Amino acid sequence: MVKNRHFKLNFMPQINPFLLLLLPLLFQIIFGMNCFADRIRLTFFKVSMISLFFQFVFSYLAFKIVSDSLRSHGNGEIRCGMPLVAVWTVAIFLIIILMIIILIQVLIKKYHKTTSEQ
């Protein structure tokens, strides 16, 4: 009996992979602004690193979800890889957007710091 070497995510097919990709972005927007208002104990750097880390983790999980879904519908083989290309394209796009949001939040913090000193 040959064991299946592929990592199966049996609980994940119900999760929309594109929604999963948006979670770190929303986390950064919400908690990044709360860091500036001192409403949470995390520093802005920690919030940014958590967002980036989970963006990469969720990108991998979204890829695995789509891949497993395509395999289950294709009798164990992937007939067309365009959905996988779409997941990676959206993931890269959202990583760039996340970095832009982090940069904007840093610039907002610097602006508020300079205006409060005057």
Give a yes or no: residue 88 inside a domain: yes
pLDDT, one tens digit per residue, over 70-99 is: 887 777 777 787 888 999 999 999 999 999
pTM for the model: 0.80
Are the C-beta atoms of 95 and 46 separated by less than 8 Å? no
Give a yes or no: residue 6 inside a domain: no
In sequence order, the 6+-apart residues with CB closer than 8 A to the CB of 52 are 24, 95, 98, 99
Give a yes or no: residue 1 inside a domain: no
Give a yes or no: residue 15 inside a domain: no
Answer yes or no: is pLDDT of 13 > 70: no
Give a yes or no: residue 14 inside a domain: no
* C-alpha to C-alpha distance for 57 and 53, rounded to whole angstroms: 6
Give a yes or no: residue 18 inside a domain: no
For the chain, the C-alpha Rg in angstroms (whole number) is: 19
Give a yes or no: residue 52 inside a domain: yes
Looking at the 3D structure of the chain, how many domains does it have?
Answer: 1
* C-alpha to C-alpha distance for 34 and 85, rounded to whole angstroms: 35
Give a yes or no: residue 44 inside a domain: yes
* Domain assignment of residue 48, given as a range: 27-117
